[in-house]
Amino acid sequence: MIRRTVSILPVVLAACLAAASLNGCAVAVGGAAMVGGAAAEERGVRGRASDLAVEARITDKFLQERLKLLTNIGVEVYEGRVLLTGATTDVALADRAVALAWQCEGVQAVLNEIQLVDSGFAVFAHDTVITSKLLSAITFDKDILSINYSVETVNRVVYLIGIAQNKAEVDKVIAHASNIEYVTKVVNHVRIKQASVPAA
């Protein structure tokens, strides 16, 4: 089952954004809209750049190991938390993916959600539709800051990671996911934003 297509763009973007944040140089990558979007996220430009850099390191590890890791295992990084998703009957492959992720600089936690089951293209098609429907639903929900969420779907199980403004917001995201046809389960790894403490 193909989880995702490997692209050099995240690697280049991570390197450029990291360079810009470290030495103050102006770097044009994909225009101001991309940078503006990153700034609007709770994790900010530096946080997003750091996560992209971590994802690039893990992808590189997977590339060095063997291509099957990239076709079976998906990687999503948010605030240094690495979400591994996918489906494989190869237990050693799943264990190796977790081990390689932990080897990378900047990793704070590894959330192993790799399913030890077989899957096929028919299920993958459903997964793609589910992810698209959920992203659309939360984008047009005025009570949800969708930019702070990442979504993965594997075998009709929806995985969420990101930052919620409050419990009510993440509950709405989960409700949207649960109401989508074919979804069998929603796994929530979203962190709730801490309220700021007023100065004394």
3-state secondary structure (DSSP) of residue 82: strand
Number of helices (H), then strands (E), belonging to the chain: the values are 7, 6
Residue linked to tokens 């490997």: 6
pLDDT digits (tens, 9 = 90+) for 30-50: 444 444 556 679 999 999 999
Q: Does domain 121-192 have CATH number 3.40.50?
A: no
Q: What angle do CA 69, 75, 77 make, to 5 degrees?
A: 150
pLDDT digits (tens, 9 = 90+) for 56-73: 999 999 999 876 788 889
With 0-12 CB in 10 A as exposed, 13-18 as middle and 19+ as buried, what is 77? buried
Q: With a cut of 70, which residues of the chain have pLDDT below it?
A: 1-39, 67, 195-200
The pLDDT assigned to 108 comes to: 98
The pLDDT assigned to 38 comes to: 61
CA atoms 136, 88, 51, 26: torsion sign: negative
Every domain of the chain and the residues it spans: 9-115, 121-192
Residues 77, 35: Cα–Cα separation, whole Å: 18
- By C-alpha distance, which of 141, 84, 89 is closest to 114? 84
Residues 125, 148: Cα–Cα separation, whole Å: 25
Bridge partner list, 77 = 82
Domains 9-115 and 121-192 share a fold: no
CATH of domain 9-115: 3.30.300
